[in-house]
Amino acid sequence: MKVDIDNSEITVDARVLGELLHVPAAEVPGLLRLGAITSICERGVGADAGRYRLTFFHSNSRVRLSVDAQGRIVQRAVIDFGDRELPPVLRRAGS
């Protein structure tokens, strides 16, 4: 899996995001436009310079991808809260 980074513009393939959020890839763009999928992008500093942490939220799930400067996903984490909505505290950067 890889993320495209071009002049600090970051693009995640809808297939990758859809798979991690359990959403059909074809629905990802529309859900993003509607604000049903939201995201936070954090740029690394110091020892993490050149890395990015991308966090996506949808319904009861949070997906976090850590990528290097070449866009390689070096770490990923998925939290699914089942029938419960995602707690608001998890919709913040750094949580």
User: What distance in Å separates the CA atoms of residue 49 and residue 18, rounded to the nearest whole number?
Assistant: 28
Its pTM stands at 0.84
User: What distance in Å separates the CA atoms of residue 16 and residue 20, rounded to the nearest whole number?
Assistant: 6
- Give pLDDT tens digits for 49-63: 989 999 999 988 999
Q: Is residue 19 part of a domain?
A: yes
Q: Is residue 95 part of a domain?
A: no
Task: Tell which wins on pLDDT, 70 or 2.
Answer: 70
Q: What is the CATH number of the domain that holds 54?
A: 3.10.450
pLDDT at 90 over 90: no
Domain, as residue range, for 29: 4-90
Query: Which is nearest to 57 in space by CA: 35, 25, 26?
Result: 35
Number of domains comprising the chain: 1
Report whether 37 contacts 31 (CB < 8 A): yes
- Give pLDDT tens digits for 27-78: 999 999 998 999 999 999 999 998 999 999 998 899 999 999 899 999 999 9
